[in-house]
Chain A
Amino acid sequence: MDLIAHLRYFIAVAEELHFGRAAARLHMSQPPLSQRIQRLERHFGLRLFDRSARAVNLTGAGQLLLVEARDLVARAAVLDELAGQLRSEGINVLRAGLPPDVPGTTVAALAAEFAARQPAVTLRLQESAPAVQHRALVEQRLDAAVLRLPFDTARLALGPVVQRPLGVLIAGNDPLAGHPELLLSVLAPLALVIFRRSTAPAVFDEILDTCARHGYRPSTVHEVSSTEFGRGLVMAGGAVAFDDGALAPPAGAVWRPVTGQPLAARLATVWPRGRDNPAVHAFAETATVVLQREAGMSVVGPVRPGTALRARPTSEFLPWGAP
C-alpha cells in the first residue's frame, strides 16, 4: 500500500466530510475512494470515520491521526521537491533569499564573494516579500536568507545580526532639510510614507510605536508597496520616509540622520533549524561581511547596552525569578 497516497485520500475526506465531494476534488469516482479509505482503516486497525446515512464524521482516532497525516504528507512534498531539484541541478546548490530592497552592488558582491569561498556550490539568489521568504524558510524551500527583524523564529536558526540606523528622507526645499540631523518630534507636521503593514506587521508596529514614544504621531500614514512611489511622495513634499541611507537620495530630496538613532533596520542571517551545513555557514558569513562593507551595516551584539529589561508581573515567567 502507498501510505502517502492513502493519507492524501484520508485528508481529502476529512476536510470535505463527504465522500462525493472528496472524490470530485481528487478527480476520481466515489467507490474506489471508499475502498481506499477502508484499506487504510484495515492498515491501522482503526475506524477513521463514523458513517451514517446522513453524515460522515471523523472518529476520535481519526482526529488524532489527521494531524500526523497532514504533517507526513507535507514532509513528503518537501522530499519530492528536493529530489526534483537534485535531479535537475545536482547536490551543490544553495537556495538563498535576500530582502527586495538590498542595493544591486551588495547583491553582486555577495554572489562574487560566495563563489570565491565555495566554488563548488551554485548560489541561487532570489528576492521576495519578507512574509513569502519566511514561509519558504519554514517549509525548507529556501536553504538560507537574510531577513529583516523581527520575525517569528519558530523552527529557524539565526546567525549574525547586522544593523544600520534609519534616517529620514525629506524634500530638499522643506525648511527642516537645513538641519544636519533631525529629532523625531520635529517631524510632527509631516505625513509618513512607509511600506504596507501587511508585508511585515511587527516591523511596522515597532517603527510607529518608537515614533509615538519620541513625539512623532503622523496624522497621515501612506502605506505604499513600491519604494519608488514612496520616494515620489517624499519628493512631492509634506511627507518623510525612513531610509537607511544606503542608496543616494533621489533628486529633490535629502537624507538626514535621526538624533539619538532610535530607529534601525536590523537584518539577520537565518536558516531552517537543524539544516545548516558549510555552504549555509559560508552564506551567513559572506552576507554579514558584505552587508558591512557594501551597505554600511554593523554587527550588533545580542544585548543592546543601556536597555535594561523591565518585565512586569504579567510576564509570569522570568528566567531568573523576580528582579
Chain B
Amino acid sequence: MTPGQPVLARIRATFDAAGVSGWLHAVDIDRASEVELRADEPVVLASVFKVPLVVAFFRAAEDGRLDPRAPVTVPLAERSGGPTGIAAMLDPVTISLRDLAYLALTVSDNAAADVLADHVGLDNVAETLDALGLHRTRVPLLTRDVAALTREDLDEQRGLVTDPAAVSRLRVLDPLTSNRSTARDCTRLLALIWRDEAAGPASCGAIRRLLSLQVWPHRLASGFPFDDVSVAGKTGTLPTIRNEIGVVEYPDGGRYAVAVFTRSTSTALNLPRADAAIGLAARLAVEHLREQSSD
C-alpha cells in the first residue's frame, strides 16, 4: 500500500491547487496495479451515466430486443435541453438508435441520451449494472429528470445556478439521490469494455470507437499532450461537478482505465483550472502505473 504514497500526495496537491475535491481510480487494464484516492466513496456521475446506458443499449441490441439501425424521430416538443447535438437543434430529427448512442457519448447530447434510454429502459440499465458487478453504480434519473429537479430547487430562476446557497440545495448534487457510482466501479466498467467483456466483442469495439470520438479536449485528454497516445473518454458536468472517465493507450500497448471525479469550491460555470486538474491528476496516476510495470 505504501509505495503509492508519493503519487497520492502529488495528486492531492493537484486537486488542492485547482480548488477542487477529487476522487480518483486508475488501473492498468492488463495488470493488477492501481492508484486510488477515495475510490470507493459514492460520487455523482452527471453525464458519465451515458456510458452504462450505451453499454445496456448494445447488450439489448445483441439479444435482439432492439434494432440498432431502426430510425426514430425525435420531435421538437418535450425534447430534453442542452447545448449540444439534437438537444440544441431547431427541427425534428430522424436518426438510428446507434447514432443516438454516437451523439450521447461524443458530444454528451442530452436529447439523444434520453430518447435512447426511453428505448432501452432504465430497468435494463440496472440489469446491465448488476450483470457486470457494478453494485455501487445506480442510474435512477434521465437528463430531463435532472433538469426538472434542478429547476424546482432553483425556484425556476436560472441565474441562481451559480449562487452558493442555491447550489447547496441542489438534490442532483447529492450522491444519494442522483445518478451515482464510485471511481473504482467506473474503471471496472471501462476495463470490461476494453477486454470485450462488457458485451460481445463487436459491441465493445463499437463502444470503444464512440468513446474515442468524444470531442472535448479540456479534461482527461489535456493531461496527455502526445500524438501517439490515444485518450477515449466520457465527461460529466453539473454545477460544481466536473468528471471524466476514460482509457489512455500508449504505443507500447500499455492501456490504463482512469476515473476522475471533482467537486469545485467555486460555483463559477467556467473553471478551466478544474478541468485541467483532471488531466494532470490522470497523468500522474498513469505515469505511476507505467513506472511500476517497468520495474
Q: List residues of chain A with CB under 8 Å of any chain B CB.
A: 15, 17, 60, 63-64, 66-67, 149-154, 156-159, 161, 198, 201-202, 205-206, 268, 273, 302-303, 308-322
Contacts and interface: CB of A to CB of B under 8 A. Distances in A.
Contact of B165 (A161, A201, A308): A161
Contacts of B33: none
Interface in B155-174: 157-169, 173
B82 A268 contact: no
Contact of B265 (A15, A152, A312, A320): A152
Contacts of A201: 16-17, 19, 265
Contacts of A308: 159
Given A154-B263, A159-B165, A311-B83, 6 more contacts: A63-B40, A153-B168, A154-B173, A205-B266, A314-B237, A320-B147
Contacts of A60: 133
A164 B66 CA distance: 60
A318 B83 contact: yes
Interface in B22-50: 40-42, 46-47
B154 interface: yes
B209 interface: no
B269 A312 contact: yes
State the 7 A-B residue pairs at the shortest beta-carbon distance, nearest first.
Answer: A321-B81, A153-B168, A202-B265, A158-B165, A316-B237, A302-B163, A313-B83
Nearest to A149: B164
Interface in B130-158: 133, 135-136, 143, 146-147, 150-151, 154, 157-158
B189 interface: no
B273 interface: yes
B16 A198 contact: yes
B265 A317 contact: no
A22 B260 CA distance: 30
B235 interface: yes
A29 to B, nearest CB: 23
A150 B267 contact: yes
B230 interface: no
Given A315-B83, A321-B81, A321-B82, A150 B266 contact: yes
A160 to B, nearest CB: 8
Chief secondary structure at chain B's binding surface: mixed
A314 B218 contact: yes
A319 B158 contact: yes
Interface residues of B, number: 60
Contacts of A319: 147, 150-151, 154, 158, 161
B258 interface: no
Given A202-B264, A318-B82, A320-B151, A268 B158 contact: no
A311 B269 contact: yes
20 contacts: A17-B1, A63-B40, A64-B40, A67-B136, A67-B182, A152-B265, A198-B16, A201-B265, A302-B163, A303-B157, A309-B162, A314-B235, A315-B270, A316-B84, A316-B110, A316-B237, A317-B237, A320-B81, A320-B147, A321-B88
Nearest to B150: A319
A309 B273 contact: no
B83 A303 contact: no
Contacts of B250: none
Interface in B253-294: 263-267, 269-270, 273, 275
A205 B275 CA distance: 15
A303 B151 CA distance: 15
A313 B84 contact: yes
Given A150-B265, A309-B159, A317 B82 contact: yes
Given A67-B40, A201-B265, A316 B82 contact: yes
B164 A150 contact: yes
Interface string B177-218: 000001010000000000000000000000000000000101
